[in-house]
Amino acid sequence: MNKGSVSADEALTMLEDGNARFVGGERCGDSYQRHTKLEDHLDDQSPFAIVLGCADSRVPVEIIFDVGLGDLFVIRVAGNVVTPALIGSVELAAEKLGPRLVVVLGHSGCGAVDIALSTLESNDVETSGYVNAILERIRPAIEPLVGNAEGLNRNELMARSVRANVQAVVCLLYTSPSPRDATLSGMPGAG
């Protein structure tokens, strides 16, 4: 199958099926991820989806979706935040490579979201220079949750914050015409 011709719905199903295999311990991706598979992609690439995910080492995108080399165009950054350069990367992939699905992937235990939440809960949390650039992109999405957190334990607040961050990133990607022409999907907590 030409991966460039995969519809957004088919691509999402492929990701969901792969994640179910990963969660169930039935991965078949090891055979897809062998170095010899690289030869199939030396001249071009045709990923079936674009995934903007967190840089967290516990969330290796190809592994949690049980896919192989060349199947996904993956962009990873702490907190799965977007900057103009990252939106440009999504645009480039959407325009030049043709995937019909863009996924924003959040995950439980996201350190960037946790730090952003902590800085909103307490003004005495210190962060360094460029870390603040990441936190400043997360805080606006989660700040309303902190003000309405009565009755929520920290884990529930964290889970809602991850979802709110994913939703905010999806909304930002809708401002770009290329990803907007593809189907955008938020997936908080795959795997």
* Residue scoring higher pLDDT (169 or 184): 169
Q: What pLDDT score was predicted for residue 128?
A: 80
pLDDT in tens, 112-134: 999 999 999 887 777 888 999 99
pLDDT in tens, 13-49: 999 999 999 999 887 755 555 555 666 666 778 899 9
pTM of the model: 0.86
Closest CA to 90 of 184, 188, 12, 15: 184
Which distant-in-sequence residues (6+ apart) come within 8 Å of 56 by Cβ?
78, 107, 109, 110, 111
